[in-house]
Amino acid sequence: MENNGVNVAVVGATGAVGENMLKTLEKRNFPLKELKLLSSARSAGKEIVFKGKKYVIEEARPESFEGIDIALFSAGGDVSKQLAPEAVSRGAVVVDNTSAFRMDANVPLVVPEVNEQDLFKHNGIIANPNCSTIQMVVALEPIRKNYGLKKVVVSTYQAVSGSGAQAITELNTQNLSISNNEEVEANILPCKSDKKHYQIAYNAIPQIDKFTENGFTYEEMKMINETRKIMHMEDLKVAATCVRIPVAVGHSESIYIEVEKEGVSTKDIQDLLRNSPGIVLQDDINEQLYPMPLTSTGSNDVFVGRIRKDLDEPTGFHLWVVSDNLLKGAAWNSVQIAERLLELGIVGKSAE
């Protein structure tokens, strides 16, 4: 990546996604001229080491974005709504990891493997999709592009880290309490704002976020609406059921699709995905090889396996898709967008 470096701000640097953004920036050797770490007043003053250098976290304020080229936001929707326009007014391009702008008609919702050309349409803000949406559209885009796509039905098995670092701590605490025959406390799931909470250890909770009037949760509606927007298919039939399971990191998805083209075989889809960007095919039932959260954690890729033709619908297929929700589902997709902004000349010296 040829660039003399750009000034980058990470908003929410102390959170789980923010920490992974920093790790990803370092691992990718992102061309940084200046790095600014921003967070709430509560975290201001803390120190973080990046590439061997200590950085003091500053409180995120409008003036914090003076001279910043790219601002990576992951500090909650309210913070993004308040400060992202301030960053844009000072010349920064914002890559926002919250739901604040995802369905805004004037904000592109981008997964680079699927719709990177939408980056050229930005007006200062680019939205990072929901973690469960990202891995699904990465897996489905090659299929849509080559064979068409009529219908998607997805059931997710989502890790607790999707609710933040505190949810991981609570899962570990609950497991320890059960092992010690102690009373189990539940204060976070299914969602922090609800009055009622359930134990996640040894359990599965068929609710992520609050319920909407149509009986689907907001998480499920995010997957439905975001998939249509990213793929530019407003009439695509999509249904989702989102479930929280007692896994720390790594979302899994059971996906049923119907393609438009007839005569497509399981091998056709396997061969297609094997050679598609951002995808690792793990699909050998003779060797019991298939994606799992345990083996997918720490990777930027989307893992696909258990591909099989439906027994009743000639154009129907089933897939099992797993990805690290903190990386491809959040931090890596955000940094990947930033990389593409530079490589495409949308941001940085090459764009001058």
Catalytic site includes residue 318: no
d(CA 84, CA 267): 45
Pair 317, 337 in one domain:
no
Q: What is the pLDDT along the chain (352 residues), one digit of tens a residue?
A: 455 799 999 999 998 899 999 999 999 999 999 999 999 888 899 999 999 999 999 999 999 999 999 999 999 999 999 999 999 999 999 999 999 999 999 999 999 999 999 999 999 999 999 999 999 999 999 999 999 999 999 999 999 999 988 999 999 999 999 999 999 999 999 987 778 999 999 999 999 999 999 999 999 999 999 999 999 999 999 999 999 999 999 999 999 999 999 999 999 999 999 999 999 999 999 999 999 999 999 999 999 999 999 999 999 999 999 999 999 999 999 999 999 999 999 997 543 3
The one catalytic residue among 122, 191, 242, 251: 251
Whether the Cβ atoms of residue 109 and residue 127 lie closer than 8 Å to each other: yes
The verdict on whether 242 is a catalytic residue reads no
Domain count, the chain: 2
Same domain, 201 and 251: yes
In a domain, 60, yes or no: yes
264, 208: one domain: yes
CA neighbours closer than 13 Å in the CB half-sphere of residue 240: 28
Would 235 be classed as within a structural domain? yes
Q: Does some domain include residue 1?
A: no
pTM of full prediction above 0.85: yes
- Domain of residue 182, CATH code: 3.30.360.10
Query: Is 171 contained in some domain?
Result: yes
Whole-angstrom distance, CA of residue 210 vs CA of residue 257: 26
Catalytic residue chosen out of the listed positions 122, 131, 191, 242: 131
* Distance, CA of 21 to CA of 331 (rounded, Å): 5
Please count the other Cβ atoms lying within 10 Å of the Cβ belonging to residue 42. 9
Burial (CB count <10 Å: 0-12, 13-18, 19+), residue 153: middle
Domain that holds residue 225: 133-324
Domain with residue 84: its CATH number is 3.40.50.720
Q: Are residues 175 and 305 in the same domain?
A: yes
- Identify the CA nearest to 132 among candidates 154, 101, 106, 148: 154
Which residues are registered as beta bridge partners of 94? 71, 125
One domain for residues 165 and 297: yes
d(CA 119, CA 339): 11
